[in-house]
Amino acid sequence: MKPNGSNISLTPYDDIFSTEQSRNGAAPEQIQKIPITELFPFKDHPFSVVDDKRMMEMVESVKEFGVMIPLIARPLDGGGYEIISGHRRKHACELAGIEEVPVLIRNLDNDEATILMVDSNLQQRDEIPPTERAKAYQMKLEALKHQGQRSDLTCGHDGHKLDGRRSIDIVAENSPDSRKQIQRLIRLNNLNPELQEMVDEGRLALTPAVELSYLNPSEQRDVAVALEETQNTPSLSQAQRIRKMSESGEATKEKLTDIMMEEKKPLRDSITLSHDTLKKYFPKSYSIQKIEQIIIKLLENYLKRQREKEQSR
């Protein structure tokens, strides 16, 4: 993953919610008060809306101050509006008893709406489970590919929009994740629900999960059962062996269980922290990769302070 900090290039907030019309100096779009009953969730919305501590804080905020940032929605053919950005704000208003919310109405086609929905959520949400991020990236990638195939858009000869660039590169441009990380995450969409849940809970690391995503549905079920029975999680090397067994047709339930029961050799000069030890310090939604990234950042800051102390002596 790309490290947090100044090296990450995100689309500015105002750019996400501005329109071509407003950027060109024309009259801006109007914000309207819309009854909550006329607002409907985005089709196949990949991001969960959970009644957690943050939601309760948002409820208290909208009770006191109202909705500070308007929702974005587009008109539906059968009446009402489809939310593009603001599912959590709408739910907070429902819990707070607020019946109308400010909404920026925008006319967008399916591809434009999908891209804006993904970008706005990735920018605004801090904690996104890996599988939700995977679904969102997949949706944006497919929307970009569809745009690139349209004859009314500027396309390269390879069928991709914008001077021949690949869709995956466009997805990565304004994303907090690297191109390679996005490709890994998208592979999670090939996992069955049991293994996806293990990834989100931090019981299954991303890189082994990617290897397991190449298994067929029956083999994935057997792996999930083996993980539950042994209460172990596969290392990258074990997952790679399982994938090779699958490719050769040798991934039986017995062999999978045998691999998961192997005692892992500790790395030389390494320190192992169990998930149970770490989970009390991090939110449940944090992935293993995000926890590792935070720990490394904290160690870097600690080392920097130690060096500053030595220099000041």
182-224 pLDDT, tens digit each: 999 999 999 999 999 999 999 999 999 999 999 999 999 999 9
Q: What is the mean pLDDT of the chain?
A: 83
136-172 pLDDT, tens digit each: 999 999 999 988 765 444 443 334 445 567 889 889 8
Closest listed residue to residue 238, CA positions, set 214, 216, 262: 262
Residue pair 101/92 in contact by the 8 Å Cβ criterion: no
Rounded to 10°, the helix 53-65/87-96 angle is 70
What is the per-residue pLDDT for 25?
46
Residue pair 76/116 in contact by the 8 Å Cβ criterion: no
How far is 196 from 189, CA to CA, in rounded Å? 8
Query: How many helices (H) does the chain have, and how many strands (E)?
Result: 15, 5
| Structure-token pair, residue 204 | 């299954």
What is the DSSP pairing of strand 81-85 with strand 39-40?
parallel
What is the per-residue pLDDT for 244?
96
What is the per-residue pLDDT for 73?
97
Residue 63, Cβ density class (10 Å: 0-12 exposed, 13-18 middle, ≥19 buried): middle
> What residues does each domain of the chain span?
9-123, 129-190, 191-260, 275-307
What is the per-residue pLDDT for 24?
47
pLDDT band at residue 264 using 50, 70 and 90 as cut-offs: low
What is the per-residue pLDDT for 30?
82
DSSP string, 228-262: HHHT----HHHHHHHHHHHHTT---HHHHHHHHTS
How far is 233 from 227, CA to CA, in rounded Å? 6
Closest listed residue to residue 230, CA positions, set 206, 251, 256, 205: 256
What is the per-residue pLDDT for 75?
95
User: 102: which strand partners?
Assistant: 33
What is the per-residue pLDDT for 151?
45
16-38 pLDDT, tens digit each: 455 444 444 444 578 999 999 99
Residue that wins the pLDDT comparison between 109 and 309 = 109
How far is 106 from 184, CA to CA, in rounded Å? 33
Which phi and psi angles does 33 have, rounded to 5°? -85, 120
Of 94-98, 131-135, 158-162, minimum mean pLDDT range: 158-162
| Structure-token pair, residue 1 | 């993953």
Domain 9-123 has CATH 3.90.1530.10: yes
The average pLDDT across 277-305 equals 77
pLDDT band at residue 97 using 50, 70 and 90 as cut-offs: very high
